[in-house]
C-alpha cells in the first residue's frame, strides 16, 4: 500500500474532528437530540443553551483534547523509548497519575469532580503529573533502561499494578472519594467543563511545542542511540525534556478523564501504518487521531445505551485491546 500523504491525512482528521464535535454536541442523555436546531428557532431557551454550551460542547471538546494528549504522548513515548509498545498506559504512568489524583482528593478533601473549580483542577493536574512522572521513572529504573522490550513492558505492568493498588489503598482508607475514583478508574468524560478544557488545551500546546521541537532528535533516535549521538543529538537533555512532556500530557489527561486505555498506543500506530511520516508530522497526526478516537468512543458511549451511559474507558479498552492483539500477530514485538 502506498503511504498516504501526511498533509492530506492531517486535513482529513481535522475535518473528522469537526464533524465529531458537531455530533458530540448533538448527542444527549436521550440519544440524538440536536439542540442547535432547537436554539435556531428558540434563541431565548436558556435551558437548551445551558445544556449545549455548559455540558455537551465542553465535554466533547475536552474529550477530543484528552484523546489528543494521549495520542501525542504515546507517539513521543514510542519515539523516545524506541519501543512500539511504549504507551503511557503500559509504562505505568497512567496508574501513577491516578494514584497522584487519589492522594490529592484525600489531602484536599475534594467533592465530586463536577463541582471542581479552576484551582482545584489545576492542583489535581499537578498531582496527576507528579504521579505519572514518578511511575515512569520507577519503570525505567526497574527496566534498567529502554532497550529490552520485554523488560520494559514487564516493569510497566508491575509499576502499573503497584500504583493501582496504592490508589485502591487510598480509596480503602477514604471511602468518601470512592465514587469519584471509580469514575476515574473506568475513564469518564462526564466531569469535563470549560475549566478542564482550558487546562487540557494548555497541556496540549506545551506538549506539541516540546514534541515538535524535538522531532528531528526523535527521528534520529529511530536509528539507534549511537547514530543519534553521532549526528549531534544531545541524548540526555532531549530524553529528560520528552519524559517530562509525556508525564505532563498523561497527568493532565488522567486528571480530567481518568484512565483511558490504549489511545496512546493505537493512535501513533494507525498514523504510521497509513502515512509513514517523520515525527514532525507523526506527532500532530497522532494528536488528531487520538482526539478523533476518544471523541468517537465518547459519542458511542453516550449514544449506544442511552439514556444509560457506558464508561468510555471500557469502550476504548475493548477496541484498543483488539487492535493490540491484531498488532501482536502482524509484527514481531
Partner 1 sequence: MTPALLCTNLRAQLGGVDVLRGIDLALPAGRWTAVVGPNGAGKTTLLKALSQLTPHSGRVEVLGRETRELGARQRARSIAWLGQNEGGAADLLARDVVMLGRIPHQDWLGPATASDREAVQAAMQRTQCWQWRDRPLGQLSGGERQRVLLARALAVGAPVLLMDEPLANLDPPHQADWLAIVRAHVEAGGTAVSVLHEVTMALHADEMVLMDAGRVVHQGACANAATHRALEDVFNQRIAVREVDGQRVALPVHPGSAPR
Residue with Cβ nearer partner 1 (195 or 219): 219
Residues 6 or more apart whose CB falls under 8 angstroms from that of 168 comprise none
- Given 32, 276, 321, 326, the residue binding partner 1 (CB under 8 A): 276
Name the segment binding partner 1 (CB under 8 A); options: 42-50, 60-68, 176-184, 208-216. Answer: 208-216
Give the DSSP H or E segment for 32: strand 31-32
Q: Enter the C-alpha cell of residue 290.
A: 487520538
For partner 1, the closer of residues 224 and 322 by Cβ is 224
**Composition of the chain by helix, strand, coil, percent to 5:** 75, 0, 20
d(CA 284, CA 107): 36
- Is 229 among the residues that bind partner 1 (CB under 8 A)? yes
Contact segment (CB under 8 A) with partner 1 among 37-45, 155-163, 271-279, 309-317 equals: 271-279
Q: Does 278 bind partner 1 (CB under 8 A)?
A: yes
Q: Is 222 in the site for partner 1 (CB under 8 A)?
A: yes
**Residue 82 in contact with partner 1, rule: CB under 8 A:** yes
Q: How far is 153 from 90, CA to CA, in rounded Å? A: 7
Residue 253 binds to partner 1 (criterion: CB under 8 A): no
Contact 285, 271 (CB under 8 A): yes
Write out the three cell numbers for 201: 488545551
Applying CB under 8 A, does 151 fall inside the site for partner 1? no
The answer to the question of residue 236 lying near partner 1 (CB under 8 A) is no
Closer CB to partner 1, 222 or 240, in the complex:
222
57 binds partner 1 (CB under 8 A): no
Half-sphere exposure for 317 (CA within 13 Å, toward CB): 14
What is the nearest approach in angstroms of partner 1 to the Cβ of residue 90?
Answer: 19
Stretch that binds partner 1, among 220-228, 246-254, 287-295, 317-325 (CB under 8 A): 220-228
Binding of partner 1 at residue 87 (CB under 8 A)? no
Instruction: Indicate whether 233 belongs to the interface with partner 1 (CB under 8 A).
Output: yes
Residue from 230, 304, 325, 328 touching partner 1 (CB under 8 A): that is 230
CA 167 from centre of chain: 19
Q: How far is CA 48 from its chain centroid?
A: 30
The H-or-E segment that residue 28 falls in is strand 27-28
Are the C-beta atoms of residues 299 and 24 closer than 8 Å to each other?
A: yes
Q: Per DSSP, what are the bridge partners of residue 56?
A: none
The CA-CA-CA angle for residues 199, 190, 161, to 5°, reads 80
Residue 109 backbone class (left: φ over 0; alpha: ψ -120 to 50; beta: rest):
left
Which one of the spans 7-15, 48-56, 219-227, 292-300 is the region binding partner 1 (CB under 8 A)?
Answer: 219-227
Question: Which of 130, 183, 220, 247: binder of partner 1 (CB under 8 A)?
Answer: 220
**CB 160 to partner 1: min, Å:** 25
232 contributes a contact to partner 1 by CB under 8 A: yes
- Cβ nearer to partner 1, comparing 112 with 224: 224
C-alpha distances (whole Å) from 136 to each of 74, 97, 131, 172, 247 are 13, 10, 9, 25, 8
Residue 3 binds partner 1, judged by CB under 8 A: yes
- Shortest distance, CB of residue 284 to partner 1, whole angstroms? 14
Q: Based on the shown chain and the rule CB under 8 A, indicate whether residue 327 belongs to the binding site for partner 1.
A: no
Give the footprint of partner 1 on this chain (CB under 8 A).
Answer: 3, 82, 212-213, 216, 219-224, 226-227, 229-234, 272, 276, 278
Amino acid at each position: 500500500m502506498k503511504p498516504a500523504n501526511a498533509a492530506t491525512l492531517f486535513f482529513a482528521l481535522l475535518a473528522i474532528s469537526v464533524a465529531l464535535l458537531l455530533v458530540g454536541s448533538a448527542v444527549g442523555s436521550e440519544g440524538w437530540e440536536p439542540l442547535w436546531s432547537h436554539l435556531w428557532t428558540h434563541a431565548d431557551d436558556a435551558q437548551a443553551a445551558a445544556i449545549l454550551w455548559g455540558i455537551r460542547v465542553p465535554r466533547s471538546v475536552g474529550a477530543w483534547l484528552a484523546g489528543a494528549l494521549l495520542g501525542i504522548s504515546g507517539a513521543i513515548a514510542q519515539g523516545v523509548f524506541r519501543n512500539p509498545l511504549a504507551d503511557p498506559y503500559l509504562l505505568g504512568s497512567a496508574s501513577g497519575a491516578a494514584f497522584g489524583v487519589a492522594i490529592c482528593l484525600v489531602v484536599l478533601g475534594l467533592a465530586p469532580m463536577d463541582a471542581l473549580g479552576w484551582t482545584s483542577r489545576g492542583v489535581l493536574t499537578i498531582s496527576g503529573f507528579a504521579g505519572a512522572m514518578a511511575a515512569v521513572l520507577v519503570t525505567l529504573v526497574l527496566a534498567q533502561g529502554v532497550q529490552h522490550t520485554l523488560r520494559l513492558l514487564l516493569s510497566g505492568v508491575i509499576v502499573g499494578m503497584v500504583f493501582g493498588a496504592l490508589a485502591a489503598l487510598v480509596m480503602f482508607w477514604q471511602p468518601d472519594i470512592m465514587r469519584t475514583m471509580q469514575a476515574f478508574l473506568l475513564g469518564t468524560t462526564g466531569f469535563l467543563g470549560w475549566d478542564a478544557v482550558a487546562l487540557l488545551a494548555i497541556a496540549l500546546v506545551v506538549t506539541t511545542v516540546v514534541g515538535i521541537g524535538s522531532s528531528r532528535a526523535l527521528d534520529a533516535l529511530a536509528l539507534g542511540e549511537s547514530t543519534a549521538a553521532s549526528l549531534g543529538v544531545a541524548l540526555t537533555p532531549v530524553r529528560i525534556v520528552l519524559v517530562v512532556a509525556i508525564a505532563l500530557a498523561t497527568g493532565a489527561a488522567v486528571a480530567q478523564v481518568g484512565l483511558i486505555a490504549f489511545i496512546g498506543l493505537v493512535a501513533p500506530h494507525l498514523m504510521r501504518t497509513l502515512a509513514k511520516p517523520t515525527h514532525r508530522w507523526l506527532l500532530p497526526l497522532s494528536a488528531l487521531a487520538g482526539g478523533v478516537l476518544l471523541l468517537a468512543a465518547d459519542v458511542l458511549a453516550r449514544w449506544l445505551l442511552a439514556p444509560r451511559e457506558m464508561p468510555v474507558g471500557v469502550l476504548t479498552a475493548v477496541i484498543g485491546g483488539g487492535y493490540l492483539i491484531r498488532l501482536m500477530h502482524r509484527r514481531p514485538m
